[in-house]
Amino acid sequence: MADEAAETAYLAPNPFVGTALAKRPPFPVWAIVLIVPLALLALLLVVVSVLLLLAVPVPVLPPLSKQSSLSTADIVALLAGGLTGLLAVGTFVLAAYTRQAVSAGLAETQVAQATLQQAQRQVEIAQAQVTATLQQAAIAQTSLEASWRPLLTDVPGGQYIEKLENRPSELVRVDHGQVDVFIDNQASQLVCRIPFRNIGAGPAFVVGADLSGGGVSWNPASMSRSIIAAQELTLVIFNLPMDRADLQPLINAVQQAQSPTATLAYTDQGGQNRWRTTLFLHSENKKDWKVRQVAVYTGDATEPLAMSGPS
C-alpha cells in the first residue's frame, strides 16, 4: 500500500504547472480607454506644432494671416506639451508592460517553487522506498543467516545415554553429557573431558578450544569432531601435563574446583561470523562435575550475547 501511495504521489500532476504561463493577464481595458485618446491628442499637438514651425497651412486652424498671431515661443511650448504627452503615454505603457512582466515572473517563480517542492517530496518518497528496501534486505539477510547459524552449548546429563555391550552378562551405560576430570597417572596428565552440543540450525566449524582457570589458559585440545552438525555432540579433551610449572595455577584451579571454564570458538559454514561458547564448570565434591553456567559471545566481544543463569 505504501508503494502504491508513493507511486500515486510520484505520478500526480502538479496543479501549479502551466497555470501562470498558460494565460497572462490581459492589458487593462481602462488603460486602453485612457491612453489611446491621450496619445492621439499628444500626437496631434506635435504634428500641428511642426507644421506651424514650417509655416505649412493647417486645415484645422485659421488662415496663415491669423495663425501668425502665434509666436514661435507659443508653438515651441505647444510642441513641448505634445512631446511631453507622448513621453507620458510611453512611460505609462512601459510601466504597464513592466508590471505585467513582473507579475508573470512572480507567477513563474511560484510555479518553480511548487515544482521544486513536489520534486523534494518525490525525493523523500524515493529515499523512504530505498530505506524500506534496505531494511527488507537486512531482514532477509538475517533470516538467511539464521537458517544456517550454529549455537554450541552444554550437554544435559541423562539425555544422551548410550548402552554399550561390555560383557555378555551386563550392559554398560555411557552418559555423553557427563563432564569428567581425572588424573592419568600413567601419562602424568590431568585430563578434562567436556562435551558440547550444537542446538543451532547449521553446522559449527570449531576453530579454537581453551581451558582457563587461575589466570592461566591451555589451548591444545583434541575433540571427537571439529565440524559439529546440527543436534550433534562433540567431546573436547584437554590433557594438562602435571610437570609443567607454568600450568600449576590452572591445574590447582581444576583440582580445587575453583570455577574453571572451557571455551570453544567456532564459525558458520560461510566463515564470516564467529562465536564463542564458554562453559563454567563446577564441582561440590571435586569429583562430580557439572556445567554451572553457559555464555555465548560474538567475535572478540567481552560482553556475552546471551548468558544462562547459574544452576
Give 2-35 as a DSSP string. Answer: HHHHHHHHHHSPPTTTTHHHH-PPPPPHHHHHHH
Q: What percent of the chain has pLDDT over 70?
A: 74
Residues 165 and 132 in one domain: no
Question: What is the spatial distance between Cα 122 and Cα 233, in angstroms, rounded to a whole number?
Answer: 56
Residues 202 and 301 in one domain: yes
Predicted pLDDT of residue 287: 86
Which of 146, 172, 189 is a domain's end point? 146
Q: Look up residue 31 and give its three cell numbers.
A: 488603460
Which of 146, 165, 189 is a domain's end point? 146
Residues 43 and 17 in one domain: yes
Predicted pLDDT of residue 64: 46
- Is the predicted pLDDT of residue 43 greater than 90, yes or no? no
DSSP annotation of 59 reads T
Predicted pLDDT of residue 14: 47
Number of domains present in the structure of the chain: 2
Q: 214 and 253 in contact (C-beta within 8 Å)? A: yes
Residues 177 and 276 in one domain: yes
- Is the predicted pLDDT of residue 105 greater than 80, yes or no? yes
Residues 176 and 297 in one domain: yes
What is the arithmetic mean of pLDDT over 55-73?
59
Predicted pLDDT of residue 50: 74
Predicted pLDDT of residue 93: 77
- The range of the structural domain enclosing residue 79 comes to 2-146
pLDDT level of residue 73 (50, 70, 90 thresholds)? confident
Question: What is the spatial distance between Cα 76 and Cα 70, in angstroms, rounded to a whole number?
Answer: 10
Residues 140 and 164 in one domain: no
Residues 16 and 142 in one domain: yes
Which of 92, 113, 146 is a domain's end point? 146
Residues 131 and 249 in one domain: no
CA of residue 126 relative to chain centroid, distance:
13
Predicted pLDDT of residue 38: 73
What is the value of pTM for the model shown?
Answer: 0.56
Residues 60 and 196 in one domain: no
What is the arithmetic mean of pLDDT over 185-205?
93
Residues 51 and 119 in one domain: yes
Three-state secondary structure call for residue 80: helix
pLDDT digits (tens, 9 = 90+) for 7-17: 444 444 444 44
Predicted pLDDT of residue 239: 95
Residues 168 and 283 in one domain: yes
Mean pLDDT of the residues in the chain: 80
From the list 152, 146, 235, 264, the residue with the least C-alpha distance to 198 is 152
What is the arithmetic mean of pLDDT over 258-279?
92
